[in-house]
Amino acid sequence: MVWEERWHPLREEWVIVAAHRQSRPWQGETVAEQAVELPAYVADCYLCPGNVRASGVRNPHYVDTFVFENDFPCVAVDAPAVEPPPVGFYRNRAARGIARVVCYSPKHNVGLAELDQRAVERLLVVWQEQYRELGALAGVEHVLIFENKGEVVGVSNPHPHGQIYATNFVFKTIEQEVRASERYWRERGRGLFEEVIRAEQEDGRRIIYENEGAIVFIPYFARYAYETYVAPKRRCASVSDLRDGEVGDFAAALREILVRYDNLWRMPFPYVLVLHQAPTDGGDYRAFHFHIEIHPPLRQPHLLKYLAGPEIGGGNFLSDTAPEEKAAELRALSNVHYKRARS
């Protein structure tokens, strides 16, 4: 048995690694595998081409990536002023911003892992365009781009899609990473995330995939069993800073890990995928290193990583698996999607 604490330099917190807990007896709730084969088009899907959404707006017959304003946004440009003010020292304000949905494909049954290289590159370009457009708006301090995939993370519509929140505040995790990166730059004169990449390359055991411009790895300080980072090797503040050649390398790296995820248990692999990129409030973020973090909730085919006392109550993660072992599992898998391999 091994009890180890690993320092998470981006979040500036300790992660407890107790991999022997993975084999402990389990009598709790499990997650059923998604075995249903979805059709390419569903008549009552709000996201399929040509269908009418809940708002009454009809989707165009799109053939590529499709972006639209969220019909049920959590923030709005015209959010009314909040009245009356709260009692005592509490503060509040209107939740102003823009929320959008990004459909990856017109096909209801083709996830991000199943898109070809060109389609993933096109999605990256759309993300770049959205970051630039929304980030340039007055009052927008941060553009959060993410995908929630799978019922176990609360997705109500299986049509492959992601979301964008352009908000009047910077999300807390990004704020923390910005502070850690700037502090490291001031004290060491080096990029913090570049140090992470260098350490992963020197060790080598947790790297899943690497090409000239991008790298995929399970970080030394991973909190979830199959948590992976996808990053450009060159430090850039946001997805919009990727150069043409880097877009191709980054798309290849992203496809590589998503295909391996699905191949792991031959099922659509659930996750929360988030683009970690610099705020858009006009600050100097040269020390920040854009990357994608993917947090899968499953630690076994039907078993969730539950957040409990240490995580929710204490604020620090307890990992039941060793990052080195999980990286070896993912490296051993084919990079050809299992659906394509069996056809």
The answer on whether 236 is annotated among ligand-binding residues is no
How far apart CA 273 and CA 162 sit, in angstroms, is 9
Q: Which DSSP category does 305 fall into? A: -
User: Is 9 within the bounds of a domain?
Assistant: no
The answer on whether 48 is annotated among ligand-binding residues is yes
The burial class, CB within 10 Å (0-12 / 13-18 / 19+), for 46 is: middle
What is the CATH classification number for the domain harbouring 271?
3.30.428.10
pLDDT of residue 228: 98
Task: Tell me the average pLDDT across 187-210.
Answer: 98
How far apart CA 161 and CA 103 sit, in angstroms, is 4
pLDDT tens profile 9-24: 999 999 999 865 555 4
pLDDT tens profile 67-78: 999 999 999 998
pLDDT of residue 305: 83
pLDDT tens profile 108-161: 999 999 999 999 999 999 999 999 999 999 999 999 999 999 999 989 899 999
Span of 33-37, 47-51, 225-229 with lowest mean pLDDT: 33-37
Q: Please check the confidence at residue 293 and state whether its pLDDT lies above 70.
A: yes
Q: Which DSSP category does 269 fall into? A: -
Those residues whose C-beta lies under 8 Å from the C-beta of residue 11, and which sit 6 or more positions away, are 173, 176, 177, 180
User: Is 3 within the bounds of a domain?
Assistant: no
User: Is 11 within the bounds of a domain?
Assistant: no
- Using CA atoms, how far residue 163 sits from 2, 11, 99, 118, 188, in Å, is 39, 24, 7, 20, 36
Task: Tell me the average pLDDT across 196-214.
Answer: 98
pLDDT-based confidence at residue 343 (cuts at 50, 70, 90):
low
- Using CA atoms, how far residue 228 sits from 18, 209, 341, in Å, is 19, 11, 24
Model pTM? 0.94
pLDDT of residue 156: 85
User: Is 30 within the bounds of a domain?
Assistant: no
Q: With CA atoms as reference, report the closest residue to 141 among 284, 291, 282.
A: 282
Please count the structural domains in the chain. 1
pLDDT of residue 64: 94
**Tokens in use for 228?**
């992976």
Task: Tell me the average pLDDT across 162-185.
Answer: 97
User: Is 27 within the bounds of a domain?
Assistant: no
Instruction: Please list the active-site residues.
Output: 161
**Tokens in use for 307?**
């957040």
pLDDT of residue 301: 85
SS3 (DSSP) at 300 = strand
User: Is 22 within the bounds of a domain?
Assistant: no
Task: Tell me the average pLDDT across 79-83.
Answer: 85
The answer on whether 108 is annotated among ligand-binding residues is yes
Q: Please check the confidence at residue 193 and state whether its pLDDT lies above 80.
A: yes
CA torsion sign for 324, 329, 331, 332 is positive
- Using CA atoms, how far residue 58 sits from 45, 76, 323, in Å, is 11, 21, 45
pLDDT of residue 1: 57
pLDDT of residue 65: 97
pLDDT of residue 163: 97
Task: Tell me the average pLDDT across 203-211.
Answer: 98
Domain range for 149 is: 40-342
Task: Tell me the average pLDDT across 293-320.
Answer: 88
267 neighbors 149 (Cβ within 8 angstroms): no
pLDDT of residue 25: 46
The answer on whether 74 is annotated among ligand-binding residues is no
pLDDT of residue 3: 77
pLDDT of residue 30: 56
User: Is 138 within the bounds of a domain?
Assistant: yes
Q: To the nearest 10°, report the CA torsion of 270, 217, 221, 324.
A: 90
